[in-house]
């Protein structure tokens, strides 16, 4: 028996900023679902690494304005990614 089709919110956006969705047969074990899971894991790992870097940079007390601006931009991007991962996973939990 086949499962009903499902739509998964992906944790990234298209180059023009539009939401990306994965429409599948309902199986969470599809190849594309596994790729999406891995990308989410990488996004979370990158955010963790960036937080460690921020702790180091800010802990030194010698960061330049340029370094702080770059750090802020990267933290903002990572936070957007983490928020999309949370939204995607939350949507799947509600099913």
pLDDT digits 0-9 by tens, 53-87: 999 999 988 999 999 999 999 999 999 999 999 99
**What is the tens place of the pLDDT at every residue in 11-29?**
999 999 999 999 877 666 7
Token pair, residue 65, equals: 């304005």
59 contacts 53 by C-beta, under 8 angstroms: no
DSSP, res 30: S
Only one residue has tokens 């099913």, namely: 95
State the maximum Cα–Cα separation within the chain, in Å, rounded to a whole number. Answer: 62
Q: Answer yes or no: is pLDDT of 3 > 60.
A: no
pLDDT at 27: 62
Q: In the numeric block, which tokens belong to residue 71?
A: 């750090």
- Residue 1 pLDDT: 43
- pTM for this entry: 0.80
């Amino acid at each position: 028996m086949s499962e009903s089709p499902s739509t998964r919110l992906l944790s990234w956006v298209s180059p023009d900023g539009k939401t990306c969705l994965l429409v599948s047969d309902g199986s969470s074990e599809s190849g594309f679902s596994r790729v999406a899971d891995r990308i989410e894991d990488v996004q979370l790992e990158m955010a963790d690494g960036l937080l460690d870097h921020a702790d180091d940079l800010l802990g030194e007390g010698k960061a330049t304005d340029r370094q702080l601006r770059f750090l802020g931009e990267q933290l903002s991007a990572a936070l957007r990614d983490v928020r999309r991962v949370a939204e995607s996973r939350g949507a799947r939990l509600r099913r």
